[in-house]
A and B are shown apart, each in its own frame.
Chain A
Amino acid sequence: MIKLEKIRKAYKADNNWIPVLKDVDLEVRKKDFLAIMGPSGSGKSTLLNLIGFVDRHYLGDYHLDGEVVTSKGDADLSKLRNQRVGFVFQQFNLIETLTIEENVELPLLYDGWNYRQTKEKVQSLLEKLGIGDKGKKYPKQLSGGQQQRAAIARAIINDPDFILADEPTGALDTQTSSDIMNVFKTLNEEEGVTIILVTHDPSTVHYCNRVVHMQDGVLTEEVR
């Protein structure tokens, strides 16, 4: 589904180009549960942004279902972000001035839905994730685990092809972490959602079926 070929990226600092990604090749297939591991500063978040159509300043080719997305404009990339990818962040990144419902329905609204159409879908998804009674609450009124569940609901409401999760358990305690990881696991196994997980917590790795390591901008796949 996703195929990266010789991706390079460098930042400019003090007139020096500092490479972050060095000829990265990666292929992600449907129903993969892929973990990208590596120390901080190794370039894994950069790679994630790139896969999530957020960053478009790089060299190399990015194929999505055989289509090159490298040279697309803002409107097209926004549409891709909206329809094909769901983001889950370490700090949840829910909009604090909106209720949980309003947060979760946002991707649908950007896809052209109106309020009447979204209500039902949002509610059933919240129930599926075990926070059906929290729809009218604001993010601050929820625990970290509940917020992350809401964020996952928001990530999958548009039925994306894949989910990008950037250390989703980084701000959670052990028990909640394993709950969240189980949510991902269920999504992956039962709904067939492709998940790309960035983590440096080894305990989360056993949920995944593939692990790649990132070190100084070089990607190596762990053979299992």
Chain B
Amino acid sequence: MNPIVFFKGAWNALLKNKKRSFLTMIGIVIGIAAVSTIMSIGRGFENYVLESLNPDEGELLTVNIQFQSDDPEWMFETNEPLFSEMDLQTIRYMPGVNNVEVVGNDYEFVSLDTMIDGEESYVDATLTEEQGRPVLAGRALDEIDNHRENRVTVVPYSLVQDVYESEDEAIGKGISLGNQLYTIVGIYEEDIDASGLFSEFMSEEVEIPLNSYKRYNDQDSIGNQISITVDRGYLPSEVADESTAFLEENGTMRNMGTYEYFDMSALDDGLSKVLRGITLFIASVAGISLFIAGIGVMNMMYISVSERTKEIGIRRALGASQKNIRAQFVLEGVMMTSIGGVLGYLFGWLFSAIATMFLPFTAGIDLFTIITCISVSALVGLVFSYAPANAASKKEIIEIL
């Protein structure tokens, strides 16, 4: 039978029962509208995240993957590299990876013990790579100190006032920081805040060059992180996901612990949390609605089949095979739900357009959503009209005529 003939027949049958077809369609429309709304909003949100996390201009983003051992002691004792050259090479060739390198413990602050006037205490140290803070006496730290790994420090006067009578006197003197002797090259003025209510509880803060710290105080530590530079157009979280999955499967240290990364897109985003809640809610509405709509379709098709028993018999007598009859009824169901799907998509588009007026991004029209909506609705039609259509095709002609 000619396909156009089939379509026209199904279309006519639906038109003959406009009201019933329309009512049955409503469930599908609601379900698909819900699906298309979440998909449109989800797409918009994804683009928004991509856009904000990886803009077209400026520096490329990096994402760090950290290795966390199951046995912390082993990690301190071992001298093996936690990320092998092999790991790095493979990750470098993964899609979206621009560059990858091992980073050491990336501290900005450390706590060090010190000896002042024969008394042991702790100070916080700021690790600096560039120009340090301005000083009252002596000089500030600079890049050269960091580059040459000079063991020099800038301290607040309060730290050393018991030992030296004036700021100038302290310059050039030594101070023990973490069992290493540093030379005081500058004295800085303390923050006014530091003399506030909690000043007594706050430890003194000194400044030392980062590389000097790494060279003398932190020589044993090995890099437990890699930093992946992400190409434009890729989501850092996805690149990190894939890399982490690869390491979990094949990484050198996969048996010794776990690889983790910090998902920036999940960070501080109340929005994404709310959206996830909404998505879950709408998804369940969609699912239930599509199921109920499907039952509705099935019900209507059964009624239609029993109403048209005589018609089926006549068609069979005129030469329709069981296959023809089955195809006719399935097509009617699929056509009805597909029309519902198209309407649902349009409603969904409308809803998401309204919804995004209150959100910081826009939801566009995309082909994937359209295809999903129409194929899901057609599938509902197919699944739920097959049984009635089959029942129609199995009717005995003799009993009908």
> Which A positions have Cβ atoms within 8 angstroms of B?
49, 52, 54-55, 74-75, 78-79, 81-83, 87, 89, 93-95, 97-98, 106-107, 109-115, 154, 158
Contacts and interface: CB of A to CB of B under 8 A. Distances in A.
Contacts of B310: 93
Interface residues of B, number: 26
Contacts of B16: 97
Contacts of B219: none
B317 A87 contact: yes
B311 interface: yes
Interface string B50-81: 00000000000000000000000000000000
Interface in B3-36: 4-5, 8-9, 12-13, 16
Contact of B314 (A95, A112, A113, A115): A95
Contact of A112 (B1, B9, B311, B398): B1
B2 A112 contact: yes
B397 interface: yes
A79 B5 CA distance: 17
Nearest to A105: B5
Contacts of B316: 54, 78, 81
A74 B323 CA distance: 9
B248 to A, nearest CB: 55
A110 B328 CA distance: 12
Contacts of B313: 93
Nearest to A158: B319
A212 to B, nearest CB: 21
A81 to B, nearest CB: 5
B324 interface: yes
A49 B319 contact: no
B318 interface: yes
Contact of A110 (B1, B8, B311, B322): B1
Which has the most chain A C-beta neighbours within 10 Å: B8, B310, B318, B323?
Answer: B318
Contact of A109 (B5, B317, B321): B5
A223 B8 CA distance: 51
Interface string B279-306: 0000000000000000000000000000
A132 B319 CA distance: 25
Contacts of B319: 78-79, 81-83, 107, 110-111, 158
B320 interface: yes
A94 B314 CA distance: 8
